Amino acid sequence: MVGVIRRMNKLNALLGVRNGPGAAILPSEVTRIHLEFAHKFNDGHMGPRKFWREALPRLKFWNPAVPMVVNRSHDQSGPATLSLYFREPGATVQPDSAMPSSSTEGDAKAPPPAEGEIVVTIDMKHRRSDMILKDFLAKSGAVPVKPTPQEESLMRDVQELEERGKVDRERVKKMIDHEKREKALMAQAHSEAAAIKAAL
């Protein structure tokens, strides 16, 4: 059984899903979100990839009812867009059964808006993830979630644990490297001694 302290540390690390860039509550007018970008980060796709990896999981955590589709393609020269679908004032939007599932082959293109919907598109290409998030928050009207004092304290504890772990890893690596050097020197000395004996 995994130790209680280790389990607690892992649970505390999950705070990263609740807090940080992308932790925001979307207004009820947002009906769905669609992202499109390439697999690799070159040609202006680094910011969109970082937004997808860091901000989207938190958005999904806080807005589980909002469908979020990601369309990744192998076309590095292709677009990198974020489409926000909004319900028009007073309109009733039926759930769209044609909403595609996420794709890693570029097969889940952004669908046209349904009746009673409008689309706002953000061009993510050649932009940093923090600027994409800032634009997203402004255009979507999402309200960022602030961590509670208890969560802030836990996050500080997790950060301290990570820093201590980094120091410990470096110390252990130095010890292992030193042992390897010692073994290599001993092996070299033995082979030289054997060579001297053979020459006598």
CB 30 within 8 A of CB 143: no
Residue scoring higher pLDDT (16 or 184): 184
The answer to pTM > 0.75 is: no
Residue 95: the pLDDT is 59
Residue 1: the pLDDT is 47
Question: What is the percentage of the chain residues whose pLDDT exceeds 90?
Answer: 30
Looking at domain 24-146, its CATH superfamily turns out to be Glutaredoxin (3.40.30.10)
Question: Cα separations (Å) of 126 from 41, 44, 129?
Answer: 10, 4, 10
> How far is it, in rounded angstroms, from Cα 15 to Cα 17?
5
Would you kindly state where each structural domain of the chain is located, as residue ranges? 1-19+148-200, 24-146
Structure confidence by residue, pLDDT tens digits, 74-111: 888 888 999 999 988 877 776 554 567 787 877 778 88
**Section 114-122 average pLDDT:** 88
Mean of per-residue pLDDT scores for the chain: 83
**Section 122-147 average pLDDT:** 90
> How far is it, in rounded angstroms, from Cα 196 to Cα 41?
57
